[in-house]
């Protein structure tokens, strides 16, 4: 198999940070996944009701692509970004880059990644993979969610790169051009922490940040009315677990990963308060994980009466209180 780049595949918690850390590592900048996530202030919350989705949903990280852009800006990494209207040209450019020995990040619709288990593949246009070689008609893919290097046919990759719809990839490719191999992380860490707190507390949109958690707590009580039947409600309630744990969050909706970032940051900036903040967000993460278990059990046992949903709603509201207090305190650190 021609991986042409000696790319070292490694699983990662999240696809965007995973591909980025992989590309940068391959180019000579070693940075951990939590550090990339923290500097780029990826931690977030948002509750969305949109016809783009089949059902209300929530996110636990910032907009797709932001982590890449904010990290590049903070560490002064020069990233080449390419979009293509013409599919043939977009595939040809990819082949040229691979032939030049480059590893290339790509935005794809997750649904077409046929090497992953069928039950997790949904249409989601903001999946990121590294393309690290070509073997005949197949592309060699390093996907953070797969335990080993995988192959994807050219026809599926093409569908995935030009999927259209919400957050359409438009053939997007990216790769680092110029990097500093040993950047000073102190300032970027502090800037990242400040911005994460601002995002969680101050964005002027009523369904994002801490306000988003409260919105979720309120709105979940309306979910029974939005579902077809009990099995549908069970499915949606169990998806809370997927969105918090299994959809590339590192567990507890990125809160565990953020705790790891703060632990690493505390050592770099030599600030023991960040150690304490790390322990605190780890505990908040544990409470999110309890919500995940609670929702999974509710769904499995079809224990979906309004009292039970209210109980779940209250647990989520408490998370809103906890995160409000937490990010208010984190904001005071710098």
107 binds another protein (CB under 8 A): no
Rule CB under 8 A: choose which of 88, 117, 272, 307 binds another protein.
117
Give 14's contacts (C-beta < 8 A, 6+ positions apart): 33, 37, 61, 144, 248, 249, 250, 254, 257
Provide, rounded to whole angstroms, the least separation between the CB of residue 251 and another protein.
4
Contact 210, 201 (CB under 8 A): yes
Provide, rounded to whole angstroms, the least separation between the CB of residue 39 and another protein.
16
Give how far the C-alpha of residue 215 lies from the chain's centroid of Cα atoms, to the nearest Å: 21
251 binds another protein (CB under 8 A): yes
60 binds another protein (CB under 8 A): no
Rule CB under 8 A: choose which of 106, 113, 149, 259 binds another protein.
259
Contact 266, 189 (CB under 8 A): no
> Within 35-54, which residues bind another protein (CB under 8 A)?
46, 48-54
Rule CB under 8 A: choose which of 34, 38, 64, 188 binds another protein.
34
101 binds another protein (CB under 8 A): no
Question: Is the Cβ of residue 29 or residue 298 nearer to another protein in the bound state?
Answer: 298
Q: How far apart are CA 155 and CA 162, in angstroms?
A: 11
Residue 106, helix vs strand vs coil: strand
Contact stretch for another protein (CB under 8 A) within 98-106, 161-169, 188-196, 218-226: 161-169
Rule CB under 8 A: choose which of 144, 199, 313, 319 binds another protein.
144
CA angle 101, 104, 109 (to 5 degrees): 145
85 binds another protein (CB under 8 A): no
Burial grade of 179 (CB within 10 A; 0-12, 13-18, 19 or more): middle
Beta-strand relationship, 173-178 and 78-82: antiparallel
Give 3-state DSSP helix, strand, coil % of the chain, rounded to 5. Answer: 55, 15, 30
Q: Please give the size of the binding site for another protein, defined by CB under 8 A.
A: 67
What DSSP line would sit under 238-294, residue for residue? HHHHIIIIITTSSSTTTHHHHHHHHHHHHHHHT-HHHHHHHHHHHHHHHHHHHHHHH
Q: How far apart are CA 133 and CA 104, in angstroms?
A: 9
Give the pair of three-digit tokens for residue 197: 């707190």
Contact stretch for another protein (CB under 8 A) within 116-124, 128-136, 310-318, 322-330: 116-124
Provide, rounded to whole angstroms, the least separation between the CB of residue 323 and another protein.
17
303 binds another protein (CB under 8 A): no
Q: How far apart are CA 291 and CA 319, in angstroms?
A: 10
Provide, rounded to whole angstroms, the least separation between the CB of residue 294 and another protein.
12
Provide, rounded to whole angstroms, the least separation between the CB of residue 4 and another protein.
26
81 binds another protein (CB under 8 A): no
Rule CB under 8 A: choose which of 73, 227, 280, 286 binds another protein.
286
The radius of gyration computed from the CA coordinates of the chain, to the nearest angstrom, equals 20
215 binds another protein (CB under 8 A): no
Contact 113, 125 (CB under 8 A): no
Give the pair of three-digit tokens for residue 259: 């705790």
- Residue among 248, 192, 217, 246 at smallest CA distance from 324: 217
307 binds another protein (CB under 8 A): no
Rule CB under 8 A: choose which of 38, 171, 248, 320 binds another protein.
248
Binding residues (CB under 8 A) for another protein: these are 11-13, 33-34, 46, 48-55, 63, 111-112, 117, 119-120, 122-123, 144-145, 147, 156, 159, 163-168, 170, 204-208, 231-232, 234-235, 238, 241-242, 245-246, 248, 250-252, 256-257, 259-260, 263, 278, 282, 285-286, 289, 292-293, 296, 299-300
């Amino acid at each position: 198999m021609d991986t042409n780049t000696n790319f070292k595949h490694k699983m990662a918690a999240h696809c965007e940070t995973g591909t980025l850390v992989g590309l940068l590592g391959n180019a000579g900048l070693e940075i951990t996944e939590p550090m990339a996530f923290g500097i780029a202030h990826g931690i977030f919350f948002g509750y969305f009701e949109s016809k783009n989705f089949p059902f209300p949903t929530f996110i636990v990280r910032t907009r797709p692509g932001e982590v890449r852009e904010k990290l590049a800006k903070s560490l002064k990494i020069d990233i080449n970004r390419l979009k293509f209207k013409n599919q043939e040209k977009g595939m040809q450019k990819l082949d040229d880059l691979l032939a030049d020995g480059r590893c290339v990040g790509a935005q794809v619709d997750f649904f077409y990644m046929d090497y992953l288990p069928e039950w997790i593949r949904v249409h989601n246009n903001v999946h990121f993979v590294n393309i690290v070689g070509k073997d005949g008609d197949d592309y060699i893919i390093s996907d953070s969610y797969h335990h080993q290097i995988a192959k994807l046919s050219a026809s599926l990759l093409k569908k995935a790169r030009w999927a259209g719809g919400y957050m359409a990839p438009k053939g997007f490719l990216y790769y680092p051009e110029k990097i500093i191999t040993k950047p000073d992380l102190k300032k970027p860490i502090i800037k990242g922490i400040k911005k994460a707190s601002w995002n969680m507390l101050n964005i002027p949109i009523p369904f994002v940040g801490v306000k988003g958690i409260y919105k979720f707590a309120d709105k979940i009580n309306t979910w029974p009315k939005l579902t077809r039947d009990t099995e549908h409600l069970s499915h949606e309630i169990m998806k809370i677990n997927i969105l918090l744990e299994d959809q590339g969050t590192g567990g507890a909706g990125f809160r565990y990963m953020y705790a790891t970032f703060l632990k690493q940051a505390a050592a770099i900036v030599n600030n023991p308060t960040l150690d304490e903040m790390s322990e605190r967000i780890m505990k908040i993460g544990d409470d999110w994980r309890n919500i995940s278990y609670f929702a999974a059990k509710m769904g499995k046992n079809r224990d979906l009466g309004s009292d039970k949903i209210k109980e779940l709603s209250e647990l989520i509201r408490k998370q809103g209180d906890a995160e409000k207090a937490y990010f208010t305190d984190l904001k005071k650190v710098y």
